[in-house]
Amino acid sequence: MDRLLIIGSTGLVGSRLASMATSHDFEPYLTHNTRKSPFPNSSQLEITDRDATLRLIREVRPKIIVNAAALTNVDYCETHKEEAESVNVGGARNLAEAAEKNNARLLHISTDSVFDGTYGHYTELDTPNPLNHYSTTKLASERVVSQLSNR
Ligand SMILES: NC(=O)c1ccc[n+]([C@@H]2O[C@H](COP(=O)([O-])OP(=O)(O)OC[C@H]3O[C@@H](n4cnc5c(N)ncnc54)[C@H](OP(=O)(O)O)[C@@H]3O)[C@@H](O)[C@H]2O)c1
């Protein structure tokens, strides 16, 4: 069975993915950070720790990594800009680098709020215009991941 590593199993998206993974023929491996995971097979991982991220992914050897980890509180990101940058961009960079080194596919989750909402029904081809720091870091994370993943 292919191994699927879900980063952020304590989050809204990550916990849902984790509960669906076994019924889709994956052997799931999970991570949490500050909160205790409701799932038994979850390891603690701080994605801004590059060495720990590389080590975990080298040990687990997943075929697919889903990054559902981020600082998502818009107000908190506005008042903690460096931390938001470090987690949302730096953490994504570490995961992309680890995925590349271990021949894993990385599925990175961004947000519709990279667009300013003026028109709606956006596609990937539309020009983003983030209106707050959270969205700015998410856009930067898309770029960092796509640059590393397309080398
Ligand atoms: N929910 C939405 O409506 C929505 C909409 C658009 C896009 N998204 C995107 O979807 C993704 C998941 O969002 P969500 O709503 O599920 O977020 P969430 O509920 O806030 O969960 C965030 C997850 O990230 C983990 N995390 C935070 N900082 C971390 C760090 N430094 N190292 C390792 N893990 C860390 C948290 O772990 P701990 O709790 O254990 O610390 C938690 O598991 C994000 O990329 C977000 O931008 C979500």
Is residue 134 flagged as an active site residue? yes
Task: Identify any residues that bridge with 32 across adjacent strands, giving them in sequence order.
Answer: 44
Q: What is the pLDDT of residue 151?
A: 56
Q: What is the dihedral of CA 113, 6, 105, 77, to 10 degrees?
A: 30
- Closest residue by Cα to atom 35, ligand 1, is 69
CATH of the domain at 52: 3.40.50.720
Catalytic residue among 29, 76, 122, 134: 134
Q: Report the run of H or E that residue 65 belongs to, with start and end.
A: strand 64-67
Q: What is the pLDDT of residue 67?
A: 98
Domain extent, residue 80, equals 2-149
Mean pLDDT per segment of 10 residues, for the chain of length 151 residues? 95 95 88 94 96 98 97 98 98 97 96 94 94 98 88 56
| Closest ligand 1 atom to Cα of 108 | 45
Q: What is the pLDDT of residue 21?
A: 87
Q: How far is the CA of 70 from the centre of ligand 1 (A)?
A: 4
What's the number of domains the chain is made of?
1
Pocket of ligand 1 (CB under 6 A): 8, 10-14, 32-35, 45-48, 68-72, 87, 91, 109, 111, 138
